[in-house]
Amino acid sequence: MTIIQKKWLTILLLTGNVCIAQAQSPALDSTVAKVIRLQDGTIQKTLGKLDHAYASINRKLDQQTAHYLDKLQRQEQKLKRKLEAIDSSKAKALFAGSSQCYENLQATMRNAGNKLLRLNQYVPGLDSISTAMKFLSGHTELAQIKNLGNVAGELQNKMQAAGSIKQLLQQRAQLLHEQLAGVKLGNSFKQFNKQVYYYQQQLNEYKELLQSPDQLAEKALSLVREMPAFRDFMSKNSQLAQLFRVPGGTGNNSNALTGLQTRASVQQQINSQFGSGVNPQQFVQQQVQQAEGTLNELKNKVNQLGGGSTELSMPDFKPNNQKTKSFWQRLEYGINIQSQKTNRLLPVTSDIALTVGYKLNDKSVVGLGTAYKLGWGENISHIRVSSQGLGLRSYADIKLKGSIWISGGYEYNYQQEFKKLTQLQNLDAWQKSGLIGFSKKYKIGKKNGNLQLLWDFLSYSQVPQTQPLKFRIGYVL
């Protein structure tokens, strides 16, 4: 037993956290089958949705891992070609077997679904669902439970395989960094590091997504959460049980604690080293408090560096946080309103626009939109809602500083009242607008809003001339 193991064992014994469970053989709670039957219709729907969600993550994990491994293999080939022109013998030694290595990593991921792999990433929510389905599948023939158990188990294995691949890529990047230090290879090695970092970030996003059970998972777990039989099953069969001997998880195995020191022997050993006047339990508590203080200081420093629980290595470039998001996750939907001219108490028209933007990165968005020009009538006494035109928009926002953005766009506007869509086919009736200005983005509770002041530099050539300044109020949906 190592010194560290002995220290932690001492702490556990003295604080009373380790106890020998009495021999017991818990029977299955008779309410399990009854609860499943009562909730049969509802639970089938819930389990089906959860099955679909896990299967989707499973496919994405496979696709993204293959995508990044392909990219990294190509980057290594570029590095090899450039290094060969400088030092052929070093290139041969450093990249020997590189292609075969990446093929093996691809095969590891493909074959991970049905293999029990070494635990290197623990995801509590996924572990709870997988173990719960194993427990229920032994006491019911409900197909959704068995299917979800299989999918969750496969996803667990895929996460472990991806974790191993991540570690190997980190080691490979470190080796290349050490061996290529001082060698001028342009941006090739930087691109390699980028792909390694983004794969780590992608994997971390999937892990965070699975970290805590959502409403669907909570509903599924509610079937068994409070059952003593399940708690005992969880303590013996979960992934967590592979890491630690959970209290109660030893069952009838009386040999599990064989050879461990007793409380009396530990106390006698401490008294012999520190004197009989020392309270062993108080001494250990003081040591634990000091250790916690040191760990908290280190944790704060890591958080200040942007580490936290992300487990990402510090990049040597400014990451694009949108890089690992899917196309749909990078879209932002918005609405904005612009009123033109005033006539006593009511505006003549209001432009109501819907927009869809695509985040190129954290500081730039491009998008398209369409606007409907709503007429309000002449004044408060003569309100008449009418269709006064349409608009087609394109725009781009670039972050300047803080919440201030530079905004620009190009628009086509139909500025006449219309009653039929066929009237819009006259392209000569559409006016062009070129816009440049500033946006102020802000938060109202959980909603995001923005204020825009734009200058239409093409307004002076329009007939009839429109107002050059446009003020818009918008919200991100």
Rounded-to-integer distance, Cα 286 and Cα 278, Å = 12
Q: How far apart are CA 404 and CA 59, in angstroms?
A: 39
Q: What is the Cα Rg of the chain in Å? A: 32
Torsion, Cα 199 201 205 211, to 10 degrees, reads 100
Q: Which residue type sits at 447?
A: K
Q: Is the pTM of this model over 0.75?
A: no
Q: How far is CA 57 from CA 89, 208, 367, in A?
A: 43, 12, 28
- Say what the pLDDT of residue 275 is: 60
**pLDDT score of 350:** 87
User: Which residues are registered as beta bridge partners of 413?
Assistant: 391, 431
pLDDT, residue 321, reads 87
**Which tokens belong to 311?**
């487990």
Output the six-digit token pair for 333. 């939907």
Q: What are the backbone dihedrals phi and psi of residue 68, each rounded to the nearest 5 degrees, phi first?
A: -70, -35
Measured CA to CA, the distance from residue 148 to residue 220 in angstroms comes to 10
User: Is residue 334 within 8 Å of 357, Cβ to Cβ?
Assistant: yes
* CB-CB contact of 452 with 471 (8 Å): yes
- Contact in structure between 357 and 398 (CB atoms under 8 Å): no
Which tokens go with 187? 């941006």
User: What pLDDT score does 252 carry?
Assistant: 47
Q: With CA atoms as reference, report the closest residue to 439 among 327, 364, 347.
A: 364
27 contacts: CB under 8 Å, gap ≥ 6: 229
Q: Using an 8 Å Cβ cutoff, are 155 and 58 in contact?
A: yes
Q: Please report, for residues 139, 222, 474, the alpha-carbon distance to residue 26 in angstroms, rounded to integers and kept in the order given.
A: 15, 20, 61
Separation of alpha carbons 62 and 58, rounded Å: 6
Cα distance between residue 357 and residue 368, in whole Å:
7
- Token code pair at residue 226: 């409070």
Q: Is the dihedral of CA 286, 287, 292, 295 positive or negative?
A: positive
SS (H, E, C) the chain: CCHHHHHHHHHHHHCCCCCCCCCCCCCCCCHHHHHHHHCHHHHHHHHHHHHHHHHHHHHHHHHHHHHHHHHHHHHHHHHHHHHHCCCHHHHHHHCCCHHHHHHHHHHHHHCHHHCCCCCCCCCHHHHHHHHHHHHHHCCCCCHHHHHHHHHHHHHHHHHHHHHHHHHHHHHHHHHHHHHCCCCCCCCHHHHHHHHHHHHHHHHHHHHHHHHCCCHHHHHHHCCCCCCHHHHHHHHHHCCHHHHCCCCCCCCCCHHHHCCCCCHHHHHHHHHHHHCCCCCHHHHHHHHHHHHHHHHHHHHHHHHHCCCCCCCCCCCCCCCCCCCCCCCHHHEEEEEEEEEEEEECCEEEEEEEEEEEEEEEECCEEEEEEEEEEEEEEEECCEEEEEEEEEEEEEEEEEEEECCEEEEEEEEEEECCCCCCHHHHHCHHHEEEEEEEEEEEEEEECCEEEEEEEEEECCHHHCCCCCCCEEEEEEEEC
List the pLDDT tens digit at each of the 477 positions of the chain.
444 344 333 433 333 333 333 333 334 444 555 555 545 566 777 788 888 888 999 999 999 999 999 999 999 999 999 999 888 999 999 999 899 999 999 998 888 866 666 677 778 888 888 888 888 877 777 788 888 888 988 898 899 899 999 999 999 999 998 888 888 887 888 889 899 999 999 998 888 888 765 667 777 777 677 677 777 888 887 877 766 554 544 444 444 445 555 666 666 666 666 566 656 666 666 766 676 676 666 555 544 443 444 455 556 678 888 888 889 989 999 999 998 765 554 457 889 999 999 999 999 999 999 999 888 876 666 677 777 788 999 999 999 999 999 999 999 988 777 777 777 777 778 889 999 999 999 988 878 999 999 999 998 888 777 789 999 999 988
Q: Are 201 and 312 in contact (CB under 8 A)?
A: yes
Name the amino acid, one letter, at 242. Answer: Q
| CB-count exposure of residue 353 (10 Å: 0-12, 13-18, 19+) | buried
Q: ω before 464 within 30° of 0 (cis)? A: yes
